Amino acid sequence: MIVRLRPTLVLAAVATLVLCLRPSMGFFSDLAVAGAAVSLALSLIVLFIRDRDWCIFQRGKMNGVTDGTLFCLVLATCVITLLAAFSTQLSYDDHTYGDHPEYKPILVALAAIGCLLAVAISIVCLLPLFFRRLEFPTWPAYALLALVVLSALVSRSLVLRISPDPVIDVYAWLRDASNHALHGRNPYTQPIDSPYGTERALEYGVPDPADRHPPAYPPLPFLLCMPFRAMNLDIRWANIVGDLVAGIALFCIGARRGRWDYGLLCSCLFLNLPRSVWIIEQAWYEPMLAGLFGLGFWLIEYEARRRWLGFVVLALALTAKQFGLPLLLPLAWSQRRRWRMLLAGLIVAGLVMLPWIVRSPHDFFDVILWKHLQRDPQLHSLTFASACHEFFHWNVPKECGWIIATALILLVSWRTPRNGAAAALGVGTALFVFCIFHTQGFPNYFYLCDYLWLVGMVGWLPEKPKIV
């Protein structure tokens, strides 16, 4: 059995982060700190070592040089999807706003179906390892992908029924900002109907005071929510679509290399991550970003117009949230030979923001930048500052974390792979560094880190040689 080093270490980083963050749901805990430290070390090692193959169990050499990595991916997918099924069993007992618990058994059953699909996919993927002349068939891959996507669609749409009105300001802002924009009003000057400071918030143990002008985000998220709001649908459908596009993009990136098995397994793993339906419930819009990043990295592997479109999509993803600037550095350095395409994409993304900046520059920058920078460190989140406070009783200035993050991100940018989707390795590591050394590192951030690492892992694989 031959194990390809870099993709296997990336997979180890993903698995470690998922398994260690699950008990605390992505917030601070001793186990989460340990897992984050290991994942950070692994992701940095991947960028700085040479790729090589490790030969283990040499007796009866299997078919192809990455079979050992495939076996590791099968194992990780089965374990993580099984864990997701147990997480779903427990997830609606607390820390949620479930108004219709009668749907919970269906959600649990869907999580179990996701686990069974992972097992079925694993069997199909492992068959060529034991039968040398057996090519991985393509039509079952499409059929299994359709089942994985359908299962993910049903489970995520069911969450909207279980929890139609979550007590979180992200949901309220996306909903009300979409409404304001549809009626020609500026979302950055208009108040929202805050979910905090209400009887419902107190009922669910949320003590935050009401803020009708909370720190918010660039315009792309509510622009993507507007079509659904115009049809009187829940704005979280934009996140559901983003999640599904992200899963399909993983499959497509694998398919470009003849690695249908890798793409299918990674798609199944991502769409069945523990608490992925909770991410949808909370209206955190990292699923939208995952869809944009996945689609963009897939398209830049083509030529001509599709590559230009890919850079536009990547630029939109970079400008959809405040942490886009740190992510731009590794992408820009790795794709510097295509700087014209990236620049064109950034211009298009800038034009998306321009109308809102022109209408009220003060309000725009106050909402998306200054209010965020003024926030104190969130010690319940998973960050370097939280760990120092908990273990050493040090109150680390936020500027200290920013300095460390800047140095590491520059180092990551220098080592980010150049070849297409593999660049997602550097982008995901830059995001992880930013989250850990920022004032807050929340579960939705790490959800996107996991996705970018999976894209980079598949993107790093060489094209599969044909069997003759």
pLDDT digits (tens, 9 = 90+) for 407-435: 999 999 999 999 899 999 999 999 999 99
Q: Is the pLDDT of residue 65 over 50?
A: no
The rounded distance, in Å, linking the Cα atoms of 209 and 422 is 43
Query: Would you call 126 exposed, middle or buried from its count of C-beta atoms within 10 A (0-12, 13-18, 19+)?
Result: middle
Residue 182 makes CB contacts below 8 A (sequence gap 6+) with 226, 229, 230
Average pLDDT over residues 375-403: 91
Mean pLDDT of the chain: 90
Total-model pTM: 0.94
What integer is the mean pLDDT of 49-75? 68
Task: Specify whether the CB–CB gap between 344 and 300 falls below 8 A.
Answer: no
**How far apart, in Å, do the first and last CA atoms of the chain sit?**
20
pLDDT tens across 123-177, in order? 888 877 666 655 656 778 899 999 999 999 999 999 999 889 999 999 999 999 9
Closest to 239 (Cα-Cα) out of 207, 273, 204, 279: 279
Residue 376's pLDDT is: 82
**DSSP-based helix, strand, coil % in the chain, nearest 5:** 70, 0, 30
What is the C-alpha to C-alpha distance for residues 47 and 416, in angstroms, rounded to an integer? 7
Give the separation between CA 208 and CA 194, rounded to whole angstroms.
Answer: 10
Residue % of the chain over a pLDDT of 90: 69
**Between 326 and 53, the higher pLDDT residue:** 326
Which residues make Cβ contacts (< 8 Å) with residue 172, sequence separation at least 6? 192, 193, 194, 195
